[in-house]
């Protein structure tokens, strides 16, 4: 039930947005989208395939090569992005309600994080639009008198494939830099959560983005996503999701030698030293693993605790987890909502079962589904875990924490790095030398010291190893959405 004070979510858009027009799939196919909190079907949404991707790519190509977008000044592109950010702010309550309905995450988090960060991301990249500049290069004059300079030009038509855990925010992370740099885009939202991406497409039209600049084609990965990855007229693919999908994409993008960037999974270590502020550490561990139902690529899922503080930490962490308010995501007091799909619910429960069977680990909180309506999992903590166990090595993508005991700093840094992933890490200590030793020693793209899950559009986000290629956020992304052209002018 949605409390009367909240905007009632309404599903108005279920078609693709291609070339500024709303349309069904060429073959008329649709997919079902659900409310994870009730397991009820919300709507049938167009399920795109090759023909729809062909149409969207052709529109994006036209918009890039010859439409008003191709002639628009960088400053005017920035103004459109500012306008889009303003429209998102004006429609924030509606977007938040739609996100909760389709994803199952709590309204407090959507209003506190997803929507404001989406707005700020568009504003941040709006600011960059007219500041992406080339250089004048002081070249050797032995062979002549030259002016040599570089221009930064957009890459072209970009396919952006996003996941279901932060549907709106992941769209913003991808669209902000791509559009600021003058590219055109085909955005493919995850099949589980297409609704806010479609509304975002509508707001982009209202903001004044010319037709074809932003196309939104919903559909499955194996059909719509695959067609985008293989399309010869798509110059770049930006993808967020599982590393196994990234491996498939990398292979399928090889024939057309696409530029690719990946933001993938993690099994991020969170290190708690005995000298830490324990309140802070417990709060940090809670947000690290239970924020967004644990459906976060940078979730702090392996919590290493120094031996002398281990028992106290586990007791307090388990007490906090047992008090964590789980339930109706539309209730403003709810802290944890539903897993996004039945498939994810089953996956998380499977891992909980694996943890219980691995004889050494003890389940000290949660450990089962919550209720029998919707796809909720109790915040779950395993203690006495060792780093070689499956629950400590494989990405669960749910509210399941593994607590691992350690004795000394070199051991914990080594263990923290014993994972295929390298997205994030955290450390809680009052000792600055320990904090820096961990921050420098872990092979991870983001390190939080005495905090967790702080984000800003200006701060780079991304991973080492199997956690990805390239970064989201920050000015570095602009390099991924531009080509550098070097121009030599003979002045003699
Ligand atoms: P999950 O398994 O958690 O849904 P995925 O990595 O499969 O995560 O999905 C992330 C995004 O990648 C989704 O938009 C999905 O549709 C898309 N996707 C999945 N498989 C492919 C594929 N073979 N090619 C292109 N995109 C894909």
The DSSP-derived string for 296-333 is -TT---EEEEEHHHHHHHHHHHHHHHHHS-BS-TTSTT
C-beta atoms surrounding 62 within 10 Å: 17
**pLDDT class for 141, splitting at 50, 70, 90?**
confident
User: Which pLDDT score, from 0 to 100, does residue 313 have?
Assistant: 98
Distance from Cα 265 to the centre of ligand 1, integer Å: 12
- Tens digits of residue pLDDT in 125-139: 999 999 999 999 999
What's the confidence (pLDDT) of residue 3?
57
Cα-to-chain-centroid distance, residue 133: 28
Question: Residue 130 carries which DSSP code?
Answer: G
What would the pLDDT profile of 247-266 be if each residue is shown by its tens digit? 999 999 999 999 999 999 99
Give Cβ neighbours of residue 372 (< 8 Å, ≥ 6 apart).
none
| Alpha-helix residue ranges (DSSP H) falling in 394-465 | 409-417, 432-441
Pocket of ligand 1 (CB under 6 A): 161-163, 188, 190-191, 220-222, 225-226, 229, 241-242, 245, 248-249
Return the DSSP state at 461: B
- Give the contacts of 71 (CB within 8 A, at least 6 positions apart): none
C-alpha of residue 241 to centroid of ligand 1, in Å: 6
Q: What was the pLDDT predicted at 143?
A: 86
For the question of residue 315 being annotated catalytic, the response is no
- Give the mean pLDDT of 28-37: 98
Beta carbons of 52 and 16 less than 8 angstroms apart: yes
Tokens of 484: 């550098």
Q: What pLDDT was estimated at residue 6? A: 64
By percentage, how much of the chain surpasses pLDDT 90? 97
Half-sphere exposure in the Cβ direction for 309 (13 Å, CA): 23
Q: Is the dihedral of CA 69, 198, 337, 239 positive or negative?
A: negative
Is pLDDT above 60 for 2?
no
User: In this structure, what token pair is assigned to residue 113?
Assistant: 């994080």
Q: Helices 432-441 and 409-417: crossing angle, nearest 10°?
A: 30
Please spell the DSSP secondary structure of 252-274, one letter per residue: HTTTTT-EEEEE-----EEEE-T
Question: Radius of gyration over alpha carbons of the chain, in Å?
Answer: 23
Distance CA 488, CA 266 (A): 44
Average pLDDT taken over every residue of the chain: 97
Count of CB atoms situated within 10 Å of the CB of 140? 8
Ligand 1 centroid to residue 230 C-alpha, Å: 14
Alpha carbons 317 and 311: distance in angstroms, whole number? 10
The span from the CA of 204 to the CA of 13, in Å, is 14
Instruction: Answer yes or no: is pLDDT of 5 > 80.
Output: no
Give pTM, 2 decimals.
0.97
SS3 call for 168: helix
Residue 108 has a CB neighbour count (10 Å cut-off) of 18
* Ligand 1: centre distance to CA 386 (Å): 31
Question: Which residue among 190, 247, 294 is best mutated to probe the pocket of ligand 1, counting the most ligand atoms within 8 A of its Cβ?
Answer: 190
Structure tokens given for 445: 């793209």
Q: Is the pLDDT of residue 212 over 80?
A: yes
Q: Tell me whether residue 99 is one of the annotated catalytic residues.
A: no
| Continuous H helices in 208-266 | 226-230, 243-252
Which protein residue has the closest C-alpha to ligand 1 atom 5?
241
Residues 342-364: tens digit of each pLDDT: 999 999 999 999 999 987 899 99
């Amino acid at each position: 039930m949605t409390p009367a004070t909240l905007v009632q979510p309404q599903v108005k858009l279920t078609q693709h947005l291609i070339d500024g027009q709303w349309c069904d799939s060429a073959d008329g196919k649709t997919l079902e989208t659900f409310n994870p909190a009730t397991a009820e079907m919300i709507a049938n949404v167009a399920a795109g395939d090759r023909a729809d991707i062909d149409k969207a790519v052709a529109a994006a190509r036209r918009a890039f090569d010859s439409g008003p977008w191709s002639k628009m000044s960088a400053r005017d592109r920035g103004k459109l992005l500012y306008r889009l950010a303003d429209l998102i702010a004006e429609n924030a309550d509606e977007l938040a309600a739609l996100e909760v309905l389709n994803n199952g995450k709590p309204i407090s988090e959507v209003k506190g994080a997803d929507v404001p960060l989406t707005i700020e991301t568009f504003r941040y990249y709006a600011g960059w639009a007219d500041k992406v500049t080339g250089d004048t290069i002081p070249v050797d004059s032995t062979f002549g008198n030259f002016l040599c300079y570089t221009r930064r030009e957009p890459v072209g038509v970009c396919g952006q494939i996003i996941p279901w855990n932060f549907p709106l925010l992941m769209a913003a992370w991808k669209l902000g830099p791509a559009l600021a740099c003058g590219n055109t885009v085909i955005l493919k939202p995850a099949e589980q959560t297409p609704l806010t991406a479609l509304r975002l497409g509508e707001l982009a039209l209202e903001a004044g983005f010319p037709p074809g600049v932003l196309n939104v084609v919903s559909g499955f990965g194996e059909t719509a996503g695959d067609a985008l990855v293989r399309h010869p007229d798509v110059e770049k693919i930006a993808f967020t999701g599982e590393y196994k999908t990234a491996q498939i994409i990398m292979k399928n993008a090889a024939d057309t030698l696409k530029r690719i960037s990946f933001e993938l999974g993690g099994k991020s270590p969170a290190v708690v030293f005995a000298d830490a502020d324990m309140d802070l550490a417990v709060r940090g561990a809670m947000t690290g693993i239970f924020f967004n139902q644990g459906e976060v690529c940078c979730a702090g899922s392996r919590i290493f605790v120094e031996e002398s503080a281990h028992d106290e930490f586990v007791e307090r962490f388990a007490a906090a987890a047992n008090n964590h308010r789980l339930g109706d995501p539309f209730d403003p007091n709810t802290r944890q909502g539903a897993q996004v799909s039945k498939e994810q619910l089953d996956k998380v429960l499977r891992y909980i079962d694996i943890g219980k069977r691995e004889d050494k680990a003890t389940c000290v909180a949660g450990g089962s589904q919550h209720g029998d309506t919707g796809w909720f999992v109790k915040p779950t903590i395993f203690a006495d875990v060792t780093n070689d166990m499956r629950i400590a090595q494989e990405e669960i993508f749910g509210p399941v924490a593994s607590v691992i005991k350690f004795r000394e700093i070199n051991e914990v840094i080594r263990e923290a790095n014993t994972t295929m992933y390298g997205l994030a890490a955290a450390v809680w200590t009052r000792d600055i030398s320990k904090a820096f030793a961990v921050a420098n020693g872990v092979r991870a793209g983001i390190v939080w010291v005495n905090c967790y899950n702080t984000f800003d559009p200006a701060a780079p986000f991304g991973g080492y190893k199997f956690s990805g290629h390239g970064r989201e956020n920050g000015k570095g992304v602009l390099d991924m959405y531009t080509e550098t052209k070097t121009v030599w002018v003979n002045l003699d």
